[in-house]
Structure formats: structure tokens, C-alpha cells
Amino acid sequence: ETGVTQTPRHLVMGMTNKKSLKCEQHLGHNAMYWYKQSAKKPLELMFVYNFKEQTENNSVPSRFSPECPNSSHLFLHLHTLQPEDSALYLCASSQDLINYGYTFGSGTRLTVV
Amino acid sequence: AQSVTQLGSHVSVSEGALVLLRCNYSSSVPPYLFWYVQYPNQGLQLLLKYTSAATLVKGINGFEAEFKKSETSFHLTKPSAHMSDAAEYFCAVSRPNSGNTPLVFGKGTRLSVIA
């Protein structure tokens, strides 16, 4: 148990489907992040939320839609994805980057067919 | 802008041998630097961090890293590799006093340990 829980762990979806990824932390952290991890590529920052407000959108296509209803929960809504969107999606949270760094979830392995 | 370069996408060592994973950074200001480890089918776990205190930083599982400003490096080492060290390792950089400004990660180095 890492303190950051991501569900589901695995997801297979068709290109016309709509699905959501969920991330939950009860560490009291105020910032939450979505990263995309593809094979042979660096971790790609997608979105940052600080105190529920989106502070960064790293030029992510609109077929990815984040939602942060409170400081403990973060969602990533998916619709009309492409096969190249298949990847491991990692959620992370932080309170004090200097002292604690990030706490990552175990990720959701997404396959788009 | 900050960036990190990890030299070698794959490093293979024998059990009991020295582990050396290389990371060089680029930053306009003295950075904060981190090493993370990722085991198969898991998220990333913080190994150690440099935040402008001691230049030699000790982390979990016997790993350590030394910040060398003159070489813009933050290489990760472990004196004696164990089979359980086989994983992917990521170096990351951040800008000091920047609140929760996101980390920038390197491409990762996969460490294999041979019995």
C-alpha cells in the first residue's frame, strides 16, 4: 500500500468507449498529478492540480479530461482514444516536494483496441 | 528549463558487483535532484533526494548518490548489487523554491542483475 490508490489496475477499451481512471490519496497532500508512461519514452506530465485547481495542462489532447473534485481524489476521463494512447497512467501526489518528493500510485495499464 | 539525461537505457551487473547508474542534469539554478525506482507493474518509489544540503546522499536499500556541481552529475551507486535491485531507475530534477512545480524525469535505466 503506497498511500495513493489507483483503480482500475488494468483497462481495455475500444476507441469509441468512455471510461474513467480514478486516483485517491489520504496522505493530506495538496497537489496531485497525472503522468503517462509509454514504452521507451520518458514519463510525460499530463496534468497538475494544486488545492483542487488545475495549474498545468501539458498540451494534452482533449480526449483526456481531468477532474479534481477535492484534494483527495483525481479522475482522468477518457473518450474516443487512439491505440497510441495505450500506456501506463500514473497518479502521484505531494505535500512538500522538498522533503517528501512524490508518492506514486501503482498505475492503470490502459490498452486501447 | 530543467532536464536530466540518463546515460544507458540498460545496465547489467553481476550479483555482488558495483552498481553505477548515471544521471546528468541541466539547470539554470542549483537544482533539487531525485532518484526513483520502479519495480514491474508498480508505480515509482523515492530512493533518495538532494535538496542542497549534504552532497552525498544516502537512500533506501543501500543506494547513495553524490551531487557534483562541477560535473552537473548525480550518479546513483550501490557497492554490492542484489538480485532484488533489478528494476527501472529514474532520475528527476526540480527547481528549488518552486512549490509543487512538477518534476522532470529522465528516460530511465533498466538494471539487470545476473546471478
Q: Identify the weakest region by mean pLDDT among A10-14, B80-84, B101-105.
A: B101-105
The residues near A47 (Cβ < 8 Å, ≥ 6 apart) are: A33, A34, A54, A56, A57, A58, A60, A66, A76
Q: From the list A2, A48, A99, which residue is nearest B102 (CB)?
A: A48
The confidence score (pLDDT) of residue A106 equals: 94
Determine whether the interchain pair B106/A42 forms a contact, defined as Cβ–Cβ distance below 8 Å.
yes
- pLDDT tens by residue, A59-100: 899 999 999 999 899 999 999 999 999 999 999 999 866 666
Burial class from Cβ neighbours inside 10 Å (0-12, 13-18, 19+) for residue B64 reads: middle
Q: Is the pLDDT of residue A1 over 60?
A: no
Q: Is the pLDDT of residue A101 over 60?
A: yes
The confidence score (pLDDT) of residue B98 equals: 64
The confidence score (pLDDT) of residue A54 equals: 80
- pLDDT tens by residue, A13-63: 999 899 999 999 989 998 999 999 998 788 899 999 988 788 777 789 999
- Alpha carbons within 13 angstroms on the beta-carbon side of residue A4 total 29
Q: In the predicted model, what is the mean pLDDT of residues B81-98?
A: 89
Determine whether the interchain pair A42/B103 forms a contact, defined as Cβ–Cβ distance below 8 Å.
no
The confidence score (pLDDT) of residue B27 equals: 83
Q: From the list B43, B49, B102, which residue is nearest A2 (CB)?
A: B43
Phi, psi of A10 (to 5 degrees): -135, 145
Q: Is the pLDDT of residue B50 over 60?
A: yes
Determine whether the interchain pair B100/A45 forms a contact, defined as Cβ–Cβ distance below 8 Å.
no
Whether A87 contacts A110, CB under 8 Å: yes
| A interface with B, Cβ–Cβ below 8 Å | 2, 4, 6, 30-31, 33, 40-43, 45, 48, 50, 55-56, 90, 92, 94, 97-107, 109
Determine whether the interchain pair A50/B99 forms a contact, defined as Cβ–Cβ distance below 8 Å.
yes
More confident residue, B101 or B9: B9
Determine whether the interchain pair B102/A33 forms a contact, defined as Cβ–Cβ distance below 8 Å.
yes
